[in-house]
Each structure stands twice: as structure tokens, then as C-alpha cells.
Amino acid sequence: MNDSLKQQITGFLADRVSALGFAPVDRFDEAPEKHHPARLCRDAATVIVFGIPIPRGVLTSPDYDLYGIHRSYHTVYRHLDEIGLALCNFIESKGAHAAIAVPSYAPLVFHGAEPWGMLSLKHAAVNAGLGAFGRSGQMYHPEYGSLLRLAGVVTSAQMPRDPIISEDPCPKGCNACQKKCPAGAFTKSGEFRKMICLPYSVKHAIYPLALKGADALNHIERVVNTAGNDYWLACDECLKACPNNRPRRQAG
Ligand code: SF4
Ligand code: SF4
């Protein structure tokens, strides 16, 4: 177990990220076979997850919340990917370890029309102790709620695990996200349906042109992973409604 490498990584990321956690690969036993850390990295031992929040100010912008989210997301995704690449090279410079970055957004893997991350960063973040799932299906960090954008690294280096957060992040009786959703993405029992939300909320100018006709599914992965990186987010109602995305503490 490499305590010293974990400390070095924590120091390396200290001024670069706002949240950081370490999960051992044995916490991924229930991951779908194709999306298990071992499919990304040979001899995978540890999944490192880190995040940077988008500013809360975009959610309360009178007219420009969606514009603010668009630029914040796509700026932080690229930034997180750069940090992931730098962290892989840092880990590999410290010994005979393999490391591979888990991208913050694309490339995505498609199962039919449904996009999946190579590794689910939300599940990895929960496994690494960064937060817990809320009723909206998102991962909520104790300070940043679901405004934390994530990326990660899978490595063959074994490092000490961080504790999991088991508390439910949702206040008792809250269902604000479900009430506000204009797409009906939640079932009556509150289950989040990704494939109702996505077509309503994720837009891209090229999709109607490039993804039409009977064989659209045959090239959806190539279209989304090349042209789709700068998608437009057309809905943020659940983000705005959620009390977990409001400030938790007074600044000093
Ligand atoms: S992003 Fe919009 S459509 Fe999707 S779950 Fe949230 S409120 Fe519903
Ligand atoms: S709006 Fe309420 S129920 Fe929905 S995720 Fe946020 S705290 Fe949980």
C-alpha cells in the first residue's frame, strides 16, 4: 500500500482541484463489466476522482444561466482533462505504475442511443467518498452539491482508500427537482429517467443533421465524440431548484 504516493498526489492536486478522493478497485464489483476500472487500466488497483465546481452565480443569473452553464461546463471539462493527463504522467514518473485518465465528458460509449462514460464518474465519486447520490440521480458533494464537475484517473498503484459518505444528501420530504422538471424525467415514485432528460436538455446544432435516418445509431458514437463536445444545455431547472446547490457556509 503506497501511502507516500497518495500524499504526493494530494500535494500535486492541492492547488488544482476542489475535491479529491481515492477508491480501491474492490468497490467497483457491481460496475457493468464493460465499464469496470479494469477495462481501462491493466492491473487497476485505485480510482482517483477529483472535481472543480462551476460557480453558483450562473444558477441565479436573471437571463444568462444557460449561457453561463454552457461556458462553465465546457471550460472546466477541458481543464479537468488536462489535470487528468498531468496526473497520469506524475503517477507514472513515481514508479512502475500504469495510469489512464477518465475523461470529464467525452468520449462516451453508446449502448443503443444511451450514452455511458467509459467509467461512471458519478459512481466513482461516491466510491471515492466525494459525496452521495440524491433523489435526482446526481451525486451531491457536501459543499458543492451537484455543481462539482468530475474527472478521474485509474492506476495500477495501490493507495489507501477514503471513507464513503453514507448520509442521504436530500432533506426529508424534498422533491423540488421532480416538481420542477419540465420534461417529466422522474417517475411517480421519483426514479430519474436519463433517456427522458437527455433529449430534452442536451442539444447540438449538428445532431439533427448528422443523426437522422435509419442508420443514425450506427454512427452516433462518432458524431457525439467528435462534433458533440460543445453541446448546449437547454435545461437546468433541477439544478436551480435543489437546496444542495445553495451555499452551505458563510464566507469569512
Ligand atoms: S435537466 Fe431538466 S429535463 Fe433533465 S432532469 Fe433536470 S429539470 Fe428535468
Ligand atoms: S431537489 Fe431535493 S430531492 Fe431533488 S436532489 Fe435536490 S435535495 Fe434531493
Q: Determine the Cα–Cα distance for residues 26 and 64; give it in Å rounded to an integer.
A: 43
Question: Ligand 1 centre from 146 Cα, in Å?
Answer: 13
pLDDT of residue 2: 75
C-alpha of 107 from chain center: 13
189-217 pLDDT, tens digit each: 889 999 999 999 999 999 999 999 888 89
Under 8 Å between Cβ of 233 and 66: yes
Quick one: pLDDT band at residue 250, thresholds 50, 70, 90?
low
DSSP 8-state code for residue 91: H
Q: How far is CA 212 from CA 32, 109, 215, 219, in A?
A: 29, 19, 8, 10
Span 122-131, pLDDT tens digits? 999 999 999 9
DSSP characters for 180-227? H-TT--B-TT--B-HHHHHHHHEE-TTHHHHS-STTGGGSHHHHHHHG
Region 239-244: mean pLDDT is 96
CA 67–ligand 1 middle distance (angstroms): 16
Ligand that comes closest to the CA of residue 245: 2
Q: Is 136 in the pocket of ligand 2 (CB under 6 A)?
A: yes
30-40 mean pLDDT: 97
pLDDT value for 248: 74
Q: Is 43 left (phi over 0), alpha (psi -120 to 50) or beta?
A: left
Q: What is the mean pLDDT of residues 159-168?
A: 96
User: Atom 6, ligand 2: which residue's CA is nearest?
Assistant: 242
Looking at residue 188, what is its pLDDT? 86
Q: Which three cell numbers stand for residue 99?
A: 495510469
Buried/exposed code over 161-174 (b: 16+ C-beta within 10 A; e: otherwise): bbeebeeebbeeeb
Rounded CA-CA distance 203/228 in Å is 9
Quote the pLDDT of residue 33: 95
Mean pLDDT across the stretch 43-62?
A: 97
Ligand nearest to the CA of 202: 1
Residue 110: how many other CB atoms lie within 10 Å: 16
Grid coordinates belonging to 57: 452565480
Ligand nearest to the CA of 173: 2
If you measure from the C-alpha of residue 144 to the centroid of ligand 1, how many angstroms do you get, rounded to a whole number? 19
Cα distances (Å, whole numbers) of residue 5 to 82, 89, 112, 252: 20, 13, 40, 33
193 CA distance to ligand 2 centroid (A)?
Answer: 15
- How far does the centroid of ligand 1 lie from the alpha carbon of residue 193, in Å? 10
Q: How far apart are CA 241 and CA 246, in angstroms?
A: 9
Q: What is the mean pLDDT of the chain?
A: 95
Q: Is residue 201 within 6 Å of ligand 2 at its C-beta?
A: no
- pLDDT at position 71 is 97
Strand pairing report for 148-155 and 99-102: antiparallel
Distance in angstroms (rounded) separating the CA atoms of residues 91 and 216: 40
Angle at 133 between CA 83 and CA 244, to 5 degrees: 85
User: Which pTM was predicted?
Assistant: 0.95
Q: What residue segments make up the domains of the chain, in order of their start?
A: 3-155, 176-245
